[in-house]
Amino acid sequence: MPIKVVLNEDEIPRQWYNLNADLTPKNPILGPDLKPATPEWLGKMFPMNLLGQSISMDRWIDIPEEVLEILYKWRPSPLHRATGLEKALGTPAKIYYKNESVSPPGSHKPNTAVPQAFYSKQFGVERLTTETGAGQWGSALAFACALIGLECKVFMVRVSFDQKPFRKTMMQAWGADCVPSPSGETQAGRDILAANPDSPGSLGIAISEAIEAAIADESGKTKYSLGSVLPHVLLHQTIIGLEAKKQLEKIGEKKMDVVIGCAGGGSNFAGLAFPYLHDKINGAQIDIIPVEPFSCPTMTKAPYVYDYGDTAQVAPIAPMHSLGHTFVPPPIHAGGLRYHGMAPQVSQAIAAGLLAPQAVHQLECFQAAITFARTEGIIVAPETSHAVAVAIQEANKAKEEGKEKVILFNMSGHGLMDLRGYDLYFKGKLHDYEYPEEEIHKALDQIKDFPKPQSA
Ligand SMILES: *Cc1c(COP(=O)(O)O)cnc(C)c1O
């Protein structure tokens, strides 16, 4: 019985899978005038070659050789069979997980940071700005910019900046400049600080600052980079699912029953799941489950609407499940899962009935993470613990039904920089919290006159 399946470098997938080819986008991204966003306007934020990938309808897109050469530093990533966890649960199910924690910054995020830095440089960009929540994305982009040769500026959500000082140190080691957001460096940041000097910040605010900082450089040599949500980001992450398929094929595992990923903006989930969604669209029976916290219930409670990608309303207006762009999450939770929106492609797939989103409570997640640590040995990121919790639920369900199901989940990152959350859990200081439905309606009231996305 294989414990771990590895691929050689020459077996790495050489093309990314583009869901647009199989799930035609129905709703364009809008600009501030509520009309489809123009390339000129979007081009102030993003390099045009990456925008081109976002709207491409080609099913397969070549991965540049220069990008592969950097990805080889840790890819293909291992696929593990969770034999220890299976035994502890006494389940007849087979549980597999893709280990994205082996990248130097410790998560799946470099899978898109590297190509984004590469294409930006190819387009003549010299400096990237970005936001980061828990610090995973900021450190991934800092890493990629160091290897490709770009400057990098990171606006980090204040509460995480204070709680996870070593993420900032990692960014510094890779040569990036990281400041807490809201900062005094942008109008968006100054406005928020004037209204609330103790603002804990949010991803929405940090995005506003990073976009403003990019647009302010009129030479066009500074662009903004987003670590999740956009189609080209999800595209770059599909290398995860494509590798997993090859690895499972190698050990003769033909049929997948359940595919699981935690979802903040949707990128690691999509990276593993979209190649399987392709099979599902073509008739395969697979349960595909994105998992979120009850404290940020974007997919399970919030409607599918057009909403701003950020708080200060400088980002494009996207068709997505949204808690409202003014959403400020409770500061205690898994940082990477606190975004108010969800990737438009994931949102559209939910609206089309192709996915089965689930919410999990914080304490169940930490309990699952501890079980995983004591059976598989890996201390997962608090974000990842959401996927672990649902994998355990599914394995227990298989036990009740007496079915030998095959379950695959994405182990999106390790938690060695997030031990504060574990510490609070052990001290009994973490609590479950369900975001009130009224708050969602209140926040969405501001955008009630926006057009409605078509759902099917
Ligand atoms: C950022 C992050 C997430 C959430 O982001 P997605 O775009 O939804 O993948 C999940 N897990 C880890 C380890 C992360 O760093």
Give me 4's structure tokens: 């771990």
Q: Give the Cα separation of 389 and 51 in Å (integer).
A: 35
The pairing of strands 358-360 and 287-293 is: parallel
The alpha-carbon radius of gyration of the chain (Å, integer) is 20
- The topology (CATH level 3) of 22-59+109-228 is Rossmann fold (3.40.50)
Name the residue at shortest CA distance from atom 3 of ligand 1. 336
Position 456 scores a pLDDT of 63
The pairing of strands 358-360 and 60-62 is: unpaired
CA distances to 163, 170, 193 from 200, in Å: 11, 22, 10
Name the residue at shortest CA distance from atom 5 of ligand 1. 264
Buried-state track 345-360, b at ≥16 Cβ within 10 A, e below 16:
bbbbbbbeebbebbbb
- Ligand 1 atom having least distance to the Cα of 101: 13
Q: Is residue 279 classed as helix, strand or coil in its secondary structure?
A: helix
Average pLDDT value for the chain = 95
Name the residue at shortest CA distance from atom 13 of ligand 1. 413
Which class in CATH covers the domain with range 64-106+232-445?
alpha beta
Total residue length of the chain? 456
Output the CA 228–ligand 1 centroid distance in Å. 8
Q: Is residue 254 classed as helix, strand or coil in its secondary structure?
A: coil
Residue 356 has, within 13 A of its CA and on its CB side, a CA count of 12
Position 316 scores a pLDDT of 94
* pLDDT digits 0-9 by tens, 126-170: 999 999 988 999 999 999 999 999 999 999 999 889 988 899 999
At 58, the pLDDT band (50, 70, 90 cuts) reads very high
- Domain borders along the chain are 22-59+109-228, 64-106+232-445
- Ligand 1 atom having least distance to the Cα of 269: 9
Query: Of 136, 142, 86, 155, whose CA–CA distance to 114 is shortest?
Result: 142
Name the residue at shortest CA distance from atom 10 of ligand 1. 383
At 320, the pLDDT band (50, 70, 90 cuts) reads very high
Q: Give the Cα separation of 182 and 194 in Å (integer).
A: 10
Alpha carbon 424 to its chain centroid, in Å, reads 24
Average confidence (pLDDT) over 101-123: 98
pLDDT of 295 strictly over 90: yes
* pLDDT digits 0-9 by tens, 329-338: 776 557 788 8
